[in-house]
Amino acid sequence: MHELIKLSATEIRTKLLQKEIKPTELVQISIDRINEVEPIINAMPTICLERAMEHAKKIENNDLSKGQGDPGYLAGIPISIKDLVPVKGVRTTWGSPLFKDHVPDKSDFLVERLERNGGIVVGKSNTPEFGAGANTFNDVFGPSLSPWNTKKTVGGSSGGAASSLLSGEVWLASGSDTGGSLRIPGSFCSVVGFRPSPGTVPTGPGNSPFDSLSVSGPMARNVEDTALMLNAMTGYYEFDPYSKKAIPDYLQAVNKPKVPKKVAYSFDLGGEPLDPRVRKSFEEGLKVFESMGSELIEDCIDFSEAHYLIRILRSLKFAAQADRLKNHRDQLKPEIIWNIETGLKLTGEEIAKAELIRAKLYNDTAEFFNKYDLFICPTVMVPPFDVEIRYLDEVEGVKFDDYITWLYYTHSLTLTSSPSVSLPCSFTDDGLPIGIQLVTECNNEYDLLSFSQSFENHNTNTIQTPIDPIVK
């Protein structure tokens, strides 16, 4: 592993700004590392070396076209883009055989913004088909494997992004999250998966601009790098109705980290199953907050209707793909078919009920954060499992009716519109990572990053990353 790969993104940025290294050198280091580990982990199956080198040379020569902005945020750092987001001239498949040869002629606005801010796209990270599922595999590229243990899943749907960070292929990654797709891979790979509030990271133009369940967000190896990446992703965009004009500097939040005074915590969000190994890890996380001087109070938002709510709202999103089901059913995986068919069967009464339930949940959450600075809970109810298992249908003797119930700890928080993050917490006795989930009130990413930095500073239960893949 090249020594520069071991440095954080913020350290790399400093070296770039001080002209100690060049973007082209970093791109080559990234590509060399990809060539070394990609045959083992399959995290970033699509590489765009020529495009990346061309962009790197423009940054070196200060040859960015007028209006492209100051590349100072990322300054030439190689990054990965999830294969759900179009990158101009680069194969973009959405993990689906329907788009296995698709090459877009325009990038998503998020990619354009990252590139304006000095991010160099070196490749597309692997994802489940259309981002559905928390185990990253598809019929185009196959499964992504965990660098901690190549028999284990990296989670999903931003699993390739998390694995590319953990293995040192790139220094920063973008991902997206509906039911936990940034946070679950963060937990399973021991990196930071940050889900911002809707509109903090604008995307588009798209055909569902009012969707507040799905958001884009940063992934990184530590909290400071996450703040750096979030800075490069945020800002107003007229085609995103939730985007914001006033955005703080998130690096300031981590440079002067705060300790949360009153922290509410829950082991099980009201009685959900929890693997004993995750419970033990969460107890260790609670001790970290105790060592910081936080007051810990066992309390929880009322998530009693969350199972109903996520099924309705998620299915409603997928119902928009009815034409895809009608014309290409034989090329869709069963989970996609189930999502669409469930959405098409929804009644007006069910949708209206869901909207009323979500309104109450949002109001209850706002009231909850009038009492507490922070809420914490496990990220996932289990540690990483075997990659051959599509999804978990049972945990601790509790059987599930569908493929999304085991994601309860993340998709319940999605429904609140609150920003949430999975931080590396500890490891099982056999070396598998477990994350802890931190949550603040809606639109308070600043304090969430600040509290996260304090936790990271006091937590001694993690292992330094990146790592070489451990082949099992």
Residues 6+ apart with CB under 8 A from 221: 8, 9, 165, 166, 171, 191, 192, 465, 466
Per-residue buried b or exposed e for 43-60, using 16+ beta carbons within 10 Å of the residue's own CB: bbbbbbeebbbebbebbe
Residue 82 is among the residues annotated as catalytic for this protein: yes
Distance CA 248, CA 235 (A): 10
Residues in a beta bridge with 203:
none
279 membership: H or E segment, kind and range? helix 276-292
- Burial category of 402 from C-beta neighbours within 10 Å (exposed 0-12, middle 13-18, buried 19 and up): middle
Residue 66 is among the residues annotated as catalytic for this protein: no
Distance CA 463, CA 189 (A): 11
Distance CA 376, CA 384 (A): 20
Catalytic residue among 163, 174, 176, 181: 181
Write out the two tokens for 452: 């996260």
Q: Are 164 and 80 in contact (CB under 8 A)?
A: yes
HSE-up (13 A, CA, CB side) for residue 402: 19
Residue 174 is among the residues annotated as catalytic for this protein: no
352 membership: H or E segment, kind and range? helix 348-368
Q: Are 52 and 74 in contact (CB under 8 A)?
A: no
> Which is nearest to 374 in space by CA: 309, 274, 288?
288
Question: Is-cis flag, bond preceding 146, omega within 30?
Answer: no
Three-class SS of residue 376?
Answer: strand
Distance CA 327, CA 340 (A): 13
What number of other Cβ atoms are within 10 A of residue 281's Cβ? Answer: 24
Catalytic residue among 30, 96, 107, 157: 157
Helix then strand then coil, in percent of the chain rounded to 5, is 40, 15, 45
Catalytic residue among 58, 80, 82, 164: 82
Residue pointed to by tokens 């009608």: 326
Q: What are phi and psi of 194, to 5 degrees?
A: -115, 115
| Active-site residue set | 82, 157, 181
